[in-house]
Structure 1
Amino acid sequence: MSDVQNWIKETVTQNPVVLFMKGTAQFPQCGFSGRAVQILKACGVQNLVTVNVLEDAEVRQGIKDYSSWPTIPQLYVKGEFIGGSDIMGEMFENGELQTLLKD
């Protein structure tokens, strides 16, 4: 496992909620990342850790390899890959995401 993969694994397992995104929670750099942040805020997530993939090309590629998922943003809850903004939106609509984030 590469250093980047190790770092990603540590980040997602040591923080309850991690969003790999373009930009920051305060200044999202793409619509999908902005939507993902809004959904998490609507769920009342307080301890959100965000990783700006635009700051590091290795992390940007590394997270896609780590999850075998081609797009950003990517949400991890308790070390588990949940999905991107579309999946987050669906899960939010049906209440699954709120339940997952409550524990």
Structure 2
Amino acid sequence: MTDINTWIDNEVKTNDVVLFMKGTADMPMCGFSGRSVQILQQLGVPFKGVNVLDSNELRQGIKDYTNWPTVPQLYVKGEFVGGSDIMMEMFQSGELKTLMGEKGVA
């Protein structure tokens, strides 16, 4: 098995939009993950959800990967955007929609 950093790096770089979250898009396991999924669905953006609860290694690995202490974490075209609060602010200001457009994710 590849090390977790390499696996995360691959997910982030091979998917346009990735949400590392607790639970799945159909069944989020925390309010912040649920809110993040709703934001992306409202924008109509296809995304890959990665359930960090599947493994402790992944749950810790994603925090180390970005040096960001919480989940969910959103990546767009290989770039870390932020967590739930940042997503909410960017969504409300229209900035998230603009970012998706600029990155060619519509």
TM-score (structure 1 length as normaliser):
0.95
Q: Deviations over 1:19-55 (max 9, x none)?
A: 0000000000000000000000111112x10100001
- What is the Cα deviation at residue 101 of structure 1? 1.4
Q: Secondary structure at the match of 2:45?
A: coil
Structure 2 letter corresponding to 1:50: G
Structure 1 match to 2:19: 19
Is 1:70 aligned with 2:69? yes
- What is the Cα deviation at residue 99 of structure 1? 1.2
- What is the Cα deviation at residue 86 of structure 1? 0.3
The within-5 A match list for 1:38-53 is 38-46=38-46, 48-53=47-52
Structure 1 match to 2:6: 6
Deviation beyond 2 Å, 4+ runs, structure 1: none
Q: Secondary structure at the match of 2:48?
A: strand
| Number of residue pairs aligned between Structure 1 and Structure 2 | 101
- What is the Cα deviation at residue 12 of structure 1? 0.3
Structure 2 letter corresponding to 1:23: G
Q: Gaps (5+ residues) in structure 2? A: none
Distance 1:65 1:95 in 2: 29
Q: Gaps (5+ residues) in structure 1? A: none
Distance 2:30 2:93 in 1: 24
Is 1:33 aligned with 2:33? yes
Structure 1 match to 2:79: 80
Distance 1:101 1:23 in 2: 23
